[in-house]
Amino acid sequence: MIPANDFRRRWAEVGADVMAAVERVGQSGWYVLGDEVRLFEQELAGYWGLSHAVGVGSGLDAIEIGLRILGCGPGDRVLTTPLSAFATTLAIVRLGAVPVFVDTDEHGLIDLERCWNAVQQLDIRYFVPVHLYGHSLDLEALERMREEFDLQIVEDCAQAVGARFLGRATGTVGQIAATSFYPTKNLGAMGDGGAILTNNPASDEQARILRSYGETERYRHEQLGYNSRLDEMQAALLRQACLPRLPQWLEKRRAIADAYLAGIHHPAVTVPEPPEGSESSWHLFPIHVAPAHRPAFLDHLKVSGIGAGIHYPTAIPDQPALAGIPWEMAGDCGTARRLAASEVSLPIHPYLTREEVDKVIAAVQAWQPF
């Protein structure tokens, strides 16, 4: 079976560096908010081209704390996408704010033209756009929106570390960027973790206060904060085993994506090209089949030895957890719902061999839905 993610092969590559990082942390005797976190934050900010990075407990916390830093609170409307991991919306809801969903385009990215119209019509000050699947939104259009409406933006870059739009890194338009180090991410740890990135020193300082109980100095709490700290062990393995390898991992993902784009030409399978201007980091490789055929297609891939996934089978406004929770929709979400019903993710981790990539292509091409 070719797995959707292969952590065993990942361990074969990075295991020695991980164990060296574990040994270093163990020898230090300092396990929370020490030198490893501080150095990883510096190195991550340097990689991203931003001034500050603050390690937190998860990507969810990064979005929530980021919104809170920007002043978002109960009753505030927050523009966001109906097609993403649920954490994107959960961060908004946990603040008591109101998600306002705007439909996506055919790439699964929130439709910025519709967003422009929604902001004009509704009282919206906050925006959480998602760079989904590793594709970058149009950063020029996003920047025009921010400037025109004085929007406070937290860019959800959990799937887009290393992605660019016309040479510009994702996460550099909003006041704050949020990312995740969940193991499946392109820059994944061996557990949960996340980071807040910004060019604003005041936001950096506030993030550091909020992530540790709201503590401004030892045992003095000026506000109610969180227990959301990237731990030393995860920071150490990220900086020693993962961040230095990220460029080559991204190069491999892009090569696999190019092979899929060149090799899959099935009349019943839609293979979307990346958005124009986007240099995708290819966190996922989504294709689409008719909803009625998707179960049979997944069974065909499984029988062919291909591990595939679905991202995401239910549009966020249709999630049962939002029943009774205030949310709004600007227009319909027909495109997002259609994509949710038809999407299949092919394996695209950086440990695939060329033979395995060819096997995936051959399996897709061999499918006979009719």
Question: Residue 213 burial by CB count (10 A; 0-12/13-18/19+): exposed, middle or buried?
Answer: middle
What CATH number labels 7-244? 3.40.640.10
Predicted TM-score (pTM) of this structure: 0.97
* HSE-CB for 257 with a 13 A CA cutoff: 22
Residues 74-105 pLDDT 10s: 999 999 999 999 999 999 999 999 999 999 99
* Residues carrying CATH 3.40.640.10, the chain: 7-244
Low-confidence ranges of the chain (pLDDT < 50): none
The CATH homologous superfamily of the domain defined by 246-366: Aspartate Aminotransferase, domain 1 (3.90.1150.10)
With beta carbons less than 8 A apart as the criterion, state whether 138 and 112 touch. Answer: yes
Q: Which of 359, 24, 48 is nearest to 186 (CA)?
A: 48
With beta carbons less than 8 A apart as the criterion, state whether 158 and 166 touch. Answer: no
Question: What's the confidence (pLDDT) of residue 313?
Answer: 97
Question: What's the confidence (pLDDT) of residue 370?
Answer: 75
> Rounded distance, CA 291 to CA 339, Å?
9
Question: How far is Cα of residue 190 from the mean position of the Cα atoms in its chain?
Answer: 17
* Residues carrying CATH 3.90.1150.10, the chain: 246-366
Reading phi first (left if > 0) and then psi (alpha if -120 to 50, else beta), residue 85 is in beta
Question: What's the confidence (pLDDT) of residue 123?
Answer: 87
C-alpha Rg value of the chain to the nearest Å: 21
